[in-house]
A and B are shown apart, each in its own frame.
Chain A
Amino acid sequence: MEPTKIIFRILRFKPGRIDPPRHQEFELAVGPHTTVLDSLEQLRLEQDSTLMYRHSCHHSSCGTCACMINGVPRPACVTGVLALGTTAVTLEPLTGFRTIGDLVVDMRDFYADLSEEWSGLRFSEDRNGKRLPQTHPGFVRFENCIECGCCVAACPAVGDSDDFMGPAALAAIHNEMLKSPAKKTAILALADGERGQRLCRRALNCSRVCPTAVYPAQHIADLRQMVSAAEGDEQ
Chain B
Amino acid sequence: MLEHIVIVGGGGTGGALAHDLTLRGFRVTLFEKGELLSGTTGRHHGLLHSGARYAVNDPTAAVECIEENQILRKIAPEALEQNDGLFVALDDEDMAFRPLFLEGCRACGIPAQEMTPTAALALEPALHPGLKSAVRVPDATMDAWRLPMHFFATARANAADIQPFTEVVGFQTRNGGITAVETVDYRTGSRRSYRCDMVVNAAGPWAGKLAALAGLSLPLQPGPGVMVAVEGRVTNMVINRLHPAGEGDIIIPQRRLSLLGTTLWLAQDPDVLSPPADQRRRIIDLCGRMVPAVRAAPARSVWWAVRPLMASGGAKDPQAISRDFGCIDHSERDHLEGLISVIGGKATTLRAMAETAADLICKKTGRSLPCRTRESKLLPYRRFYK
Residue numbers of A with Cβ under 8 A of B are 14-17, 31, 33, 35, 38, 41-42, 45-46, 50, 52-64, 77-78, 100-101, 104, 107-108, 110-112, 114-117, 119-121, 124-126, 131-133, 136, 139-144, 146, 212-213
Q: Is the CB of B83 within 8 A of A140?
A: yes
Binds A, one of B49-57, B61-69, B182-190, B201-209: B182-190
Is residue B42 within 8 Å, beta carbon to beta carbon, of the partner chain?
Answer: yes
What residues of A have a CB within 8 angstroms of the CB of B186 in the complex? 14, 50, 52, 101
Q: Is the CB of A132 within 8 A of B122?
A: yes
| CB < 8 Å neighbour of A60 from B82, B237, B253, B301 | B301
| CB < 8 Å neighbour of B81 from A15, A17, A64, A140 | A140
Q: Is the CB of B255 within 8 A of A61?
A: yes
Is residue B262 within 8 Å, beta carbon to beta carbon, of the partner chain?
Answer: no
Is residue B320 within 8 Å, beta carbon to beta carbon, of the partner chain?
Answer: no
How many Å lie between the Cα of A53 and that of B123 in the bound state? 41
Query: Chain B 16-41, CB within 8 Å of chain A: the 1/0 string?
Result: 00000000000000000011111000
How many Å lie between the Cα of A126 and that of B379 in the bound state? 30
* 27 contacting pairs across A/B (C-beta < 8 A): A14-B186, A15-B187, A17-B189, A31-B274, A46-B273, A55-B38, A56-B145, A57-B145, A59-B229, A61-B143, A61-B254, A77-B303, A100-B187, A101-B188, A111-B382, A111-B386, A112-B386, A116-B379, A116-B382, A120-B143, A120-B146, A121-B81, A131-B122, A140-B82, A142-B143, A146-B255, A212-B255
How many Å lie between the Cα of A54 and that of B42 in the bound state? 12
What residues of A have a CB within 8 angstroms of the CB of B210 in the complex? none
Is residue B372 within 8 Å, beta carbon to beta carbon, of the partner chain?
Answer: no
CB distance from A52 to the nearest CB of B (A): 5
Q: Is the CB of B187 within 8 A of A14?
A: yes
Q: Is the CB of A52 within 8 A of B187?
A: yes
| CB < 8 Å neighbour of A59 from B79, B301, B386 | B301
What residues of A have a CB within 8 angstroms of the CB of B254 in the complex? 61, 141-142
From B299, which residue of chain A is reached at the shortest CB distance? Answer: A33
What residues of B have a CB within 8 angstroms of the CB of A41 in the complex? 273
> Which chain B residues numbered 338 to 386 have a C-beta less than 8 Å away from chain A?
379-383, 385-386
What residues of B have a CB within 8 angstroms of the CB of A112 in the complex? 386
What residues of B have a CB within 8 angstroms of the CB of A55 in the complex? 34-35, 38
CB distance from B383 to the nearest CB of A (A): 6
Is residue B302 within 8 Å, beta carbon to beta carbon, of the partner chain?
Answer: yes
What residues of A have a CB within 8 angstroms of the CB of B125 in the complex? 131
Using C-beta atoms within 8 Å of the partner chain, give the interface range for chain B: 35 or more
Is residue B227 within 8 Å, beta carbon to beta carbon, of the partner chain?
Answer: yes
Q: Is the CB of B300 within 8 A of A54?
A: no
How many Å lie between the Cα of A146 and that of B149 in the bound state? 14
What residues of A have a CB within 8 angstroms of the CB of B257 in the complex? 59-61
> Which chain B residues numbered 253 to 270 have a C-beta less than 8 Å away from chain A?
253-257, 259
Is residue B236 within 8 Å, beta carbon to beta carbon, of the partner chain?
Answer: yes
CB distance from B71 to the nearest CB of A (A): 19
From A13, which residue of chain B is reached at the shortest CB distance? Answer: B187
What residues of B have a CB within 8 angstroms of the CB of A140 in the complex? 81-83
CB distance from A54 to the nearest CB of B (A): 4
From A108, which residue of chain B is reached at the shortest CB distance? Answer: B385
Q: Is the CB of B165 within 8 A of A52?
A: yes
Q: Is the CB of A45 within 8 A of B273?
A: yes
CB distance from B238 to the nearest CB of A (A): 11
Q: Is the CB of B37 within 8 A of A119?
A: no
Q: Is the CB of B386 within 8 A of A60?
A: no
What residues of B have a CB within 8 angstroms of the CB of A136 in the complex? 123
Is residue B72 within 8 Å, beta carbon to beta carbon, of the partner chain?
Answer: no
Q: Is the CB of B143 within 8 A of A141?
A: no
Is residue B144 within 8 Å, beta carbon to beta carbon, of the partner chain?
Answer: yes
Query: Chain B 68-91, CB within 8 Å of chain A: the 1/0 string?
Result: 000000000011011100000000
How many Å lie between the Cα of A58 and that of B301 in the bound state? 7
How many Å lie between the Cα of A212 and that of B237 in the bound state? 21
What residues of A have a CB within 8 angstroms of the CB of B189 in the complex? 14, 17, 50
How many Å lie between the Cα of A139 and that of B271 in the bound state? 37
How many Å lie between the Cα of A60 and that of B274 in the bound state? 19
Q: Is the CB of A141 within 8 A of B253?
A: yes
Pairs A-B, 3 closest by C-beta atoms: A56-B42, A62-B145, A139-B236
Is residue B4 within 8 Å, beta carbon to beta carbon, of the partner chain?
Answer: no
What residues of B have a CB within 8 angstroms of the CB of A108 in the complex? 385-386
Is residue B233 within 8 Å, beta carbon to beta carbon, of the partner chain?
Answer: yes
How many Å lie between the Cα of A213 and that of B256 in the bound state? 9
How many Å lie between the Cα of A15 and that of B38 in the bound state? 23
Q: Is the CB of A61 within 8 A of B78?
A: no
Is residue B132 within 8 Å, beta carbon to beta carbon, of the partner chain?
Answer: no
Q: Is the CB of B144 within 8 A of A126?
A: no
Is residue B295 within 8 Å, beta carbon to beta carbon, of the partner chain?
Answer: no
What residues of B have a CB within 8 angstroms of the CB of A61 in the complex? 46, 143-145, 229, 254-255, 257
Is residue B43 within 8 Å, beta carbon to beta carbon, of the partner chain?
Answer: yes
From A55, which residue of chain B is reached at the shortest CB distance? Answer: B38
Q: Is the CB of A16 within 8 A of B188?
A: yes
From A100, which residue of chain B is reached at the shortest CB distance? Answer: B187
How many Å lie between the Cα of A108 and that of B254 in the bound state? 26
How many Å lie between the Cα of A64 and that of B143 in the bound state? 13
What residues of A have a CB within 8 angstroms of the CB of B305 in the complex? 58
What residues of B have a CB within 8 angstroms of the CB of A107 in the complex? 385
Q: Is the CB of A144 within 8 A of B256?
A: yes
